[in-house]
């Protein structure tokens, strides 16, 4: 097992030394064919542990367990379900350091990030949706055409939900799916990314420990073809919720047709940030730096396409470049680290290749532009933080979602030009706008084709505020009251009172 810059908690060390089967009902079976997946520490490439690699028959068993648990979960009162969700939030918060270390070992992000965002937000998610469990209500209605009828609606759970989550925020994405789905009365089969299964396994173990009925949440670890595809196509799954890349989302859309299952798809982005000369430029530099490079740039909302009004361009590029040059790469368990590795050797090669394509196409690397050469980082999956200027619209780095620590800065002269540049993408997940002109804010915001617009800030989230994209970035909302709707269905009841 790897050595770390900071000593591992005993409970984390024990977890890594444990054989991890699937979680199906109350059991921890191995994969039906005995297959295993190696889980690596991206900071040094060393083996952390091995987990089961689920097959289609394992998915069948997990779905059957979720189906059997559905009446058990719904037999609990909403108040009892709320109590369990609240207790889960409390227990996650108590184990913040444990979950933070697991997330950093699995994903690579610094503990300063996992401790500030991932773990606390996940804990608060469960507490927030605990409050909703007792507030799901139908309506009593009067028919517009008259008549002696009593008409009312019931809001009922969809049923068995399959949740397929990505590797960039493993614990948090599990919370995004589990919180509203369980509050609404559904049961679940959770498929974490094969690169980062550890925090999801620990989360569901914790749920069983504090009294969630077995089968309410089941975990099938494995890759896309072995576990994800059978789950997406399963005829006894009523809904799939997915966060990940567009190509996989399209496959899930196709697979869902067998039983017309419901879908929520939170897909990729290529988010713009518009910086006008009247903005607080120092604040815009700091906010845009976070928008691009937080979580090693592995964020679907990453505001990596930056467009700056010409009169502020040079100052902005110099300031942002200085911040990028100050990034300290290292093991995420090291408190001095400001950026960890990307998640895998495959992702490292992908991002390095895109950086090389930008250089070859003529983009100017203000910072970075090469590969990491420091000997002490050689075994990890590190990518050189890079900032490009002189990027043309047809360059691959401008068109594709990079999902790494790479930003691009362009220039504009007019407001209309800025809006056109912002919208020149098939994606529509998020965007940033920096200006001190309130009238400009209200002119520009309606014209940006994105599900979120952050004004004079970036990347703000709250459990009570809905989040989700437009266009090729998918459909359905995460967070807030709106996130409950995809997990509920409305039943209308007519009672004849006139005989």
Mean pLDDT of 439-448: 98
pLDDT interval class at 494 (50, 70, 90)? very high
Fold of domain 272-462: Aldehyde Dehydrogenase; Chain A, domain 2 (3.40.309)
Residue 2 has pLDDT above 50, yes or no: no
pLDDT (tens digit per residue) in 185-194: 999 999 999 9
pLDDT (0 to 100) of residue 197? 98
Domain boundaries, the chain: 10-267+475-491, 272-462
> What is d(CA 268, CA 261) in angstroms, rounded to the nearest whole number?
22
**Is 300 one of the annotated active-site residues of the chain?**
yes
CATH no. for 10-267+475-491: 3.40.605.10
Among 4-13, 50-59, 383-392, 434-443, the range scoring the smallest mean pLDDT is: 4-13
Mean pLDDT of 426-449: 98
Neighbours of 124 (CB within 10 A): 18
pLDDT (0 to 100) of residue 76? 98
DSSP β-ladder status, 427-428 and 217-219? unpaired
Of 266, 309, 401, 478, the active-site residue reads: 266
C-alpha atoms less than 13 angstroms from C-alpha of 248 in its C-beta half-sphere: 21
* 8 A C-beta contact, residue 145 and residue 173: no
pLDDT (0 to 100) of residue 1? 34
Kindly report the length of the chain.
Answer: 499
Quote the pTM value: 0.96
pLDDT (0 to 100) of residue 481? 97
The secondary structure of the chain in percent helix, strand, coil, rounded to multiples of 5, reads 40, 20, 40
pLDDT (0 to 100) of residue 4? 47
pLDDT (0 to 100) of residue 5? 61
pLDDT (tens digit per residue) in 234-282: 999 999 999 999 999 999 999 999 999 999 999 999 999 999 999 999 9
Mean pLDDT of 158-166: 98
pLDDT interval class at 116 (50, 70, 90)? confident
**Is 209 one of the annotated active-site residues of the chain?**
no
pLDDT (0 to 100) of residue 241? 98
Of 103, 113, 122, 300, the active-site residue reads: 300
Mean pLDDT of 67-80: 98
């Amino acid at each position: 097992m790897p050595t770390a810059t900071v000593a591992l908690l005993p409970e984390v060390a024990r977890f890594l030394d444990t054989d991890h089967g699937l979680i199906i009902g109350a059991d921890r079976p191995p994969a039906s064919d005995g297959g295993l997946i190696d889980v690596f520490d991206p900071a040094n490439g060393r083996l952390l542990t091995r987990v089961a690699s689920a097959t289609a028959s394992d998915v069948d068993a997990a779905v059957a367990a979720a189906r059997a648990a559905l009446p058990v979960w719904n037999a609990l009162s909403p108040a009892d379900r709320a109590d369990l969700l609240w207790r889960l939030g409390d227990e996650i918060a108590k184990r913040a350091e444990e979950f933070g270390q697991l997330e950093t070992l699995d994903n690579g992000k610094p503990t300063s990030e996992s401790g500030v965002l991932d773990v606390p937000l996940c804990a608060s998610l469960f507490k927030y949706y605990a409050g909703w469990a007792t507030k799901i209500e139908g309506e009593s209605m009067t028919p517009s055409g008259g008549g002696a009828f009593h008409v009312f609606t019931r809001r009922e759970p969809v049923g068995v939900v399959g949740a397929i989550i990505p590797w960039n925020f493993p614990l948090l994405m599990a919370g995004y799916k589990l919180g509203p789905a369980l509050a609404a009365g559904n049961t679940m089969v959770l498929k974490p990314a094969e690169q980062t299964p550890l925090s999801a396994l620990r989360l569901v173990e914790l749920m069983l420990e504090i009294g969630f009925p077995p089968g309410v949440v089941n975990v099938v670890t494995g890759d896309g073809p072995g576990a994800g595809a059978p789950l997406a196509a399963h005829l006894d799954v009523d809904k799939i919720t997915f966060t990940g890349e567009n190509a996989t989302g399209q496959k899930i859309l196709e697979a869902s047709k067998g039983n017309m299952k419901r879908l929520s798809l939170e897909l990729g982005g290529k988010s713009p940030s518009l910086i006008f000369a009247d903005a607080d430029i120092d604040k815009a530099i700091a906010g845009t730096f976070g928008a691009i490079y937080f979580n090693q740039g592995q964020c679907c909302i990453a505001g990596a396409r930056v467009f700056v009004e010409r009169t502020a361009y040079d100052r902005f590029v110099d300031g942002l470049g200085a911040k990028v040059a100050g990034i300290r790469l290292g093991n995420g368990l090291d408190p001095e680290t400001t950026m960890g590795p990307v998640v895998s050797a495959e992702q490292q090669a992908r991002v390095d290749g895109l950086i090389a394509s930008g250089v070859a196409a003529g983009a100017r690397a203000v910072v970075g532009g090469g590969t990491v050469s420091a000997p002490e980082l050689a075994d990890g999956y590190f990518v050189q933080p890079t900032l490009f200027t002189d990027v043309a619209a047809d360059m691959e780095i401008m068109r594709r979602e990079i999902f790494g620590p790479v930003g691009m800065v362009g220039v504009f002269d007019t407001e209309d030009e800025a809006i056109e540049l912002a919208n020149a993408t098939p994606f529509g997940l998020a965007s940033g706008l920096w200006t001190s002109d309130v009238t400009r804010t209200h002119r520009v915001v309606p014209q940006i084709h994105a599900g979120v617009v952050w004004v004079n800030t970036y990347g703000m989230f709250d459990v009570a505020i809905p989040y989700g994209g437009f266009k090729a970035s998918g459909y359905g909302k995460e967070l807030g009251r709106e996130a409950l709707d995809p997990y509920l269905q409305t039943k209308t009841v007519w009672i004849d009172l006139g005989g």
